[in-house]
Amino acid sequence: MSDKVNTAATEATKAPKESKAGESKSQEPTEGGALSNKELKELKKREKAAKRAAQKEAQGISPEQQQKLAEQKKEKNQERQMATNTNLRKKLDSSLIKDDNKKKIPAMFSHLETREQRNASSPSISHIVHPAILSLSLKISSYKIVGSIPRLTSMLEVFKTIIKDYKTPSNTSLQRHLTGHLSHQIEYLKSARPLSVSMGNAIRWLKQEISHIPLDLKELEAKTLLCEKIDDFIKEKIELSDRVIIENASKHITNGSTILTFGHSQVLEQLFKYCVTEQNKMFNLVIVDSRPLFEGKKLLRNLVDTHYMPGSEEVGSETTSEVSSISSRGPKPKPITQDFIKVHYVLINSLSSTILEDVDCVFLGAHAMLSNGRLYSRVGTGLIAMMCHNRNIPVLTCCESVKFSDKVQLDSVTNNELADSEDLLQNLNGKEAPKKKAVALEQFMKQFEHNEPQAPVKPTQKGKSQPKKITVGEEERDSKHESPLKDWKNIPNLNILNIMYDLTPPEYIKKVITELGALPPSSVPVILREYRST
């Protein structure tokens, strides 16, 4: 009962208080004298309530009406409280989502942070977040930017703009304040997706660089110095490293060999292009892909978009835009997939059959390399490595040293990233990558639906800004073709798990190619030691 009701009630019952006290006292001995204080209080309360009810009935209000009144008062009270609350939305989000999602993750993975929890816990600091970070986190959370290295480079680019726009407050120094300022931005970035290992490594490096800036340096100079350092970092740790890795790895792609790869990795994409454009190799490529992100399609598209001039001896790597200008004169450029790379595109389910029969070599991308030699990569990698190891196909992985982590992990359960379960339900026809859904909007819609059940929500365009997949499904499919998972949130004991990464044990990996050389996975700690020392 809320206070309001109580005070009103006490006023009403003030008069007969004395008599009531006397009554209760007289009752005491009849009950056997064994009543404790607590029981006594309970008894008094009951009496009070009974009296109040009696009084109200005397005034002409029925007990049902009384209850209604009380509820109304309660609601009013709550509303007021919420209005005064500063982070009203945050509370609403977290409370509402948490309880209807907690059950929706298998108990084994319940310790992992869901996207909703991440969003809900996103700090209320959006007003000091740089707009570049806002747009970056949007891109990352909608998988527009996906993959460890693209995320890292775009993050560093954004950091550069942040540093350029940064002004040190009057009573502090850049060395002290900028780190904290960046931390806020990173905090916000984390709400999009957890930071990758490479991003963590880069952030650690950047913070160290900031603290190493000499104190007597002017702000502008310090800022340009930092930007230069970031540029160098990108160049040294990513671009040049990739070149070295590619040169090393290209030895394993020979004319006529068959290479298998999984999903999309930036360095592998460059490797395949390099083998064609620089070395004129012809080989077969099996791209294994999987739901829900279909990153293999991205690799395929990028390969198809790479062109060469058929007439000339040397193959140039022109992008489509350049090509269009050239095409007016001379022979027409052809995509490299036409003559050089024969591509098979398969889904991971068909891996077991004849696909593996004449594969010579498997190249896998990496998200991180853990210090016990385990490869932490897109979910499905472990399966492929295991199958290929079983068939004695060498499994190689290309991994820049910035992705090396000194963590040790024994299974992929303790630490992983949960993606949105809806992604697995979305586009079952698999035409495009899943869209980001706006949590706040969804909350709003949910409330809306509560008030007006079955309010028809018109989808503007397929999947666009339309967080509710269910409504899209309703429009698109006949009721008989409806997905059985449509109402999964309301089916008890039905969980949907969409996990991002898995671990590949070191015994399945033959070789890790880094810019420091190729090594067996057992030598990962060596790289870590080298990396830390530099």
Partner 1 sequence: MSQDFDITQVYLKFLEDDQDMTMPIAAIESLVTMLRIKQPSTSSELINLVKSNTDKLKSSISNAISLSAGCDLFMRFVLRNINLYSDWESCRRDLVENGELFVQRAKESRSKAAQFGLPFIKDDDIILVHSFSRVVYQMLLMAKKEKLIRFRVIVTESRPSEKGYHMASLLRTAGIPVEVIVDNAVGYVIHKVDKIIVGAEGVAESGGIINHIGSYQIGCLAKTNNKPFYVVTESHKFVRLFPLAPDDLPNQISPVLSATNSSINAILESESDNPKSLLSIQQIDFTPHEFITALITDLGVLTPSAVSEELIKIWYD
Give the distance, in angstroms, between the CA of residue 488 and the centroid of all CA atoms in the same chain: 21
Q: How far is the CB of 510 from partner 1 (least distance, A)?
A: 6
Please report which helix (H) or strand (E) contains residue 486, including its range: none
C-beta neighbour count of 17 within 10 angstroms: 12
Q: Residue 446: CB partners within 8 Å, gap ≥ 6? A: 96
The residue among 131 and 517 lying less far from partner 1, judged by its C-beta, is 517
> How is residue 327 written in tokens?
């095409």
The residue among 488 and 531 lying less far from partner 1, judged by its C-beta, is 531
Tell me the C-alpha distance between 312 and 465, whole Å.
47
The residue among 318 and 515 lying less far from partner 1, judged by its C-beta, is 515
Tell me the C-alpha distance between 262 and 296, whole Å.
7
Tell me the C-alpha distance between 492 and 475, whole Å.
25
Read off the DSSP letter of residue 434.
P
The residue among 67 and 522 lying less far from partner 1, judged by its C-beta, is 522
Q: How far is the CB of 207 from partner 1 (least distance, A)?
A: 25
Please report which helix (H) or strand (E) contains residue 364, including its range: strand 361-364
The residue among 9 and 524 lying less far from partner 1, judged by its C-beta, is 524
The residue among 181 and 510 lying less far from partner 1, judged by its C-beta, is 510
Q: How far is the CB of 471 from partner 1 (least distance, A)?
A: 52
- Taking each helix axis as running N to C, give the angle between helix 219-233 and helix 148-165, from 0 to 180 degrees, rounded to the nearest 10: 170
> How is residue 257 written in tokens?
């060999």
Q: How far is the CB of 517 from partner 1 (least distance, A)?
A: 6
C-beta neighbour count of 49 within 10 angstroms: 13
Q: How far is the CB of 526 from partner 1 (least distance, A)?
A: 4
Q: Are 295 and 303 in contact (CB under 8 A)?
A: no
Q: How far is the CB of 212 from partner 1 (least distance, A)?
A: 22
Binding footprint of partner 1 on the chain (CB under 8 A): 252, 361, 394, 396, 510-511, 516-520, 522-523, 526-527, 530
Q: How far is the CB of 320 from partner 1 (least distance, A)?
A: 35
Q: Of 269, 277, 272, 273, which Cα lies nearest the Cα of 299? A: 269
The residue among 49 and 526 lying less far from partner 1, judged by its C-beta, is 526
Tell me the C-alpha distance between 324 and 380, whole Å.
38
C-beta neighbour count of 75 within 10 angstroms: 11
The residue among 499 and 518 lying less far from partner 1, judged by its C-beta, is 518
Q: How far is the CB of 389 from partner 1 (least distance, A)?
A: 12
Q: How far is the CB of 514 from partner 1 (least distance, A)?
A: 10
What residue type is 139 in one-letter code?
Answer: K
The residue among 402 and 472 lying less far from partner 1, judged by its C-beta, is 402
C-beta neighbour count of 532 within 10 angstroms: 9
Q: How far is the CB of 523 from partner 1 (least distance, A)?
A: 4
Phi, psi of 375 (to 5 degrees): -100, 125
What residue type is 304 in one-letter code?
Answer: V
The residue among 378 and 510 lying less far from partner 1, judged by its C-beta, is 510
Q: Residue 182: CB partners within 8 Å, gap ≥ 6? A: 159, 162, 203, 206, 207, 210
